[in-house]
Amino acid sequence: MKSPRERIIETTFQLFARQGYNSTGINQIISEAEVAKASFYQYFKSKEDLCVEFLKVRHEYWFNELNNFLAKEKDSKSKILKAFDFLVYMNEKENFRGCSFLNILSEIPMDNTKILSVIQSHKADLRNFFLELLNDDSLSDHIYMLFESSIIESQLFKSNELIEKSKKIVTNLIQ
């Protein structure tokens, strides 16, 4: 059986994905996670602290999934192209849920630096992921931007079409 902390994080993921950050209350999380209020506050001082931890867990999960998905690829070019296939895989797995980080970004005030810095850190890591594979600033940023926009567009239209088109563009960019 999962620990209360694990149940809270799992429930948070489901509720944030379904209702959004602002429409999800602590009492609903406590109720649906089937934990005592005291247990919740033992782990998290506030909804904001829960969100920060949720994003950290999501970051680790997402990058682990990505790295496992790319594990068999030998060279940088095939890893980059396969990363776009990863987006299709995640859309199928999570029903076009989109990026948890950008979803929350759209709901928080820009002066919420506690949550904002976690989101920025995740995106910086993703940007660095492409930079490490290519060792070319402008090319890797170009691919990063195509990757990011593919996530947003696929969520918006519930379609992988633009992921596939972006992959074709990237294929031409990295030949």
- Total of domains in the chain: 2
Q: Which CATH number is 25's domain given? A: 1.10.10.60
The alpha carbon dihedral of 97, 61, 104, 150 has a sign of: negative
Do 50 and 37 lie in one domain? The reply is no
Do 19 and 67 lie in one domain? The reply is no
Do 1 and 17 lie in one domain? The reply is yes
Q: Look up the domain containing 133 and give its range.
A: 46-173
Q: Which pLDDT score, from 0 to 100, does residue 1 have?
A: 85
Do 54 and 110 lie in one domain? The reply is yes
| Side chain identity, residue 140 | S
Q: Which pLDDT score, from 0 to 100, does residue 78 have?
A: 97
Q: Which CATH number is 93's domain given? A: 1.10.357.10
Among the listed residues 169, 22, 167, 160, the one whose alpha carbon sits nearest the alpha carbon of residue 90: 160
Which pLDDT band, with edges at 50, 70 and 90, does 175 fall under? confident
Query: Which contiguous run of DSSP H or E holds residue 8?
Result: helix 4-19
Do 146 and 64 lie in one domain? The reply is yes
pTM assigned to the model: 0.94
What is the average pLDDT across 77-83?
98
- What is the tens place of the pLDDT at every residue in 28-66? 999 999 999 999 999 999 999 999 999 999 999 999 999
Do 14 and 94 lie in one domain? The reply is no
Do 3 and 75 lie in one domain? The reply is no
